[in-house]
Structure formats: C-alpha cells, structure tokens
Chain A
Amino acid sequence: SQQGEEDPQALSIQEGENATMNCSYKTSINNLQWYRQNSGRGLVHLILIRSNEREKHSGRLRVTLDTSKKSSSLLITASRAADTASYFCATRNSGYSTLTFGKGTMLLVSP
C-alpha cells in the first residue's frame, strides 16, 4: 500500500515560476526522499532528507521536513520546461530497508 499522499495531484506553471509540492505520510520514518519520473520512464533520485533534518538544499531544489506533522515539501525554484515530470516522495520507514512511495504530483512547466 502507498504510504504518502502528494498534493497537488497536478500542477501547471510557467517557466521561471516556482513550484511547490507537498507530501504527507503516516508512520515513523528514517528518511524521506524525492524522485522525478519523466513520462513512462524510470525514476531519478533528487534529494534525501533524514528524519533529524528540517531543511535541505540541492541546486534549485529545497526540501523541508516536519516530522511532527508528518509532512514534507519540495520547492523547485526558477522552473524550466525540462522540469516537466511526475514527482514522488518516498519514505524509508523506521525498521525497514524498503521505500514506500506516494502517488505523485504531475508538474507541467510551459515555456
């Protein structure tokens, strides 16, 4: 079963704008990861945030984690058409080695 819920399910923005996606989960986690998937292809790891971290940056990506609310957000700044993809959060639950994915947010960035 899927652990998390991404919000929104779909997001459409113009190039240069920022995109924010949210993820909520249910159980205690070891870490939370964000992945990107281009249409019909495999997933690419973007960024990982551990349960004892609150914020992390990588290039144009900023991830926050609030373990008290069991939620995370992914911010993509200055979006580009090439950012068009589905974005998934995945949690590594405490005591487990596997990842549990949410349903994803479809991001469309128009030129």
Chain B
Amino acid sequence: DTGVSQNPRHKITKRGQNVTFRCDPISEHNRLYWYRQTLGQGPEFLTYFQNEAQLEKSRLLSDRFSAERPKGSFSTLEIQRTEQGDSAMYLCASSIQDPGVNEQFFGPGTRLTVL
C-alpha cells in the first residue's frame, strides 16, 4: 500500500501522560501536514513541513505539542502532559509541492482518547 499511513490507529491515555504519533507520507511527497478533527467538525490545521523544515504552525499548536520530520520522510507529533481537551482524531496528509494545486492525500488518522 503506497498511501499515507499513521500509527497507532487508536491511543487511550491518562491525563498528564505524553503520547507520540507517527505518520509515513507517500514517498515522493515532500510536504506533510498535521490536522486535528473533533466530533462533528472539519479538520483544523496544526502544522506542515516541506521536507524537514517546519514552515507553518497554527495557533492551535500549544507549547505542549511538538512535531518533527527529521529526515524529510516520516513525521512524529508528540503531545506532552495530555489534557482531556486533546481527545480528537489526528490526521496526517501529504502532497507534492505544487503552488497551483495542493491536493492533499490523507491517512486514516490516529484517534486519541484522554481519560
């Protein structure tokens, strides 16, 4: 399967714990995006990378959130000291660098539940 993959698919954690999610984009895509989606809402942009450079971060990305893409391939999103409000689906997407298009291909998401 050459699509975007995310691991784990589900994560249940207790408030205050740290969690880390991984995203593997489509291999030839140099852009990678993270979104958060809560029930009944559309995805909300968190951050994106072009190769290994983090080019934009949303105001939604508090200091407890950090994302990396060390070699310009896979990416990790870490949430420290999780709160119940962090419960959501975390979606990763990738795309080629095309100034005119920006069609994004999404992974299946990681559903986080903070107890």
Chain A interface, number of residues (Cβ within 8 angstroms): 26
Within 8 A of A (CB), among B28-67: 31, 33, 35, 40-45, 48, 55-56
CB of A42 within 8 A of CB of B42, answer: no
Residue B102, interface by CB 8 Å: yes
CB of B101 within 8 A of CB of A31, answer: yes
Within 8 A of B (CB), among A13-37: 30-31, 33, 35
Max chain B C-beta neighbours (<10 A), residue from A33, A42, A100? A42
Interface string of A99-110 (1 = CB under 8 A from B): 111111000000
Within 8 A of B (CB), among A22-70: 30-31, 33, 35, 40-45, 48, 50
Q: A-contacting residues of B (Cβ < 8 Å)? A: 4, 31, 33, 35, 40-45, 48, 55-56, 89, 91, 93, 100-109, 111
